[in-house]
Amino acid sequence: MSLLPWQVRERRFQPSRLGRRGLNPDEVYAFLDRVAADMMALHAEITKQRQENLRIKVALRRWQSEQAEGGRR
């Protein structure tokens, strides 16, 4: 299940045990790993969509050129 932006904003960590100050490092690192994995998936999807956009633009330009040439004949 993907991480949603509101989950990142509202995430709270438990204080670490044994009287130490700060957050539980294991919990923080697990959360950061999850954020990083979701970000990698998003970046991969963005790259894929950009490539598809480029492919469609090239095909559209080719089609428009063919249509313009056909009208000149």
The domain ranges of the chain are 5-72
What pLDDT score was predicted for residue 2? Answer: 76
- The CA distance from 36 to 68, in Å, is 48
15 — phi, psi (to 5°)? -65, 150
What is the chain's pLDDT, residue by residue, as a tens digit (73 residues)?
777 788 888 888 887 776 667 888 888 889 888 998 888 899 899 999 999 999 999 999 999 999 998 866 6
Residue 59 identity:
A
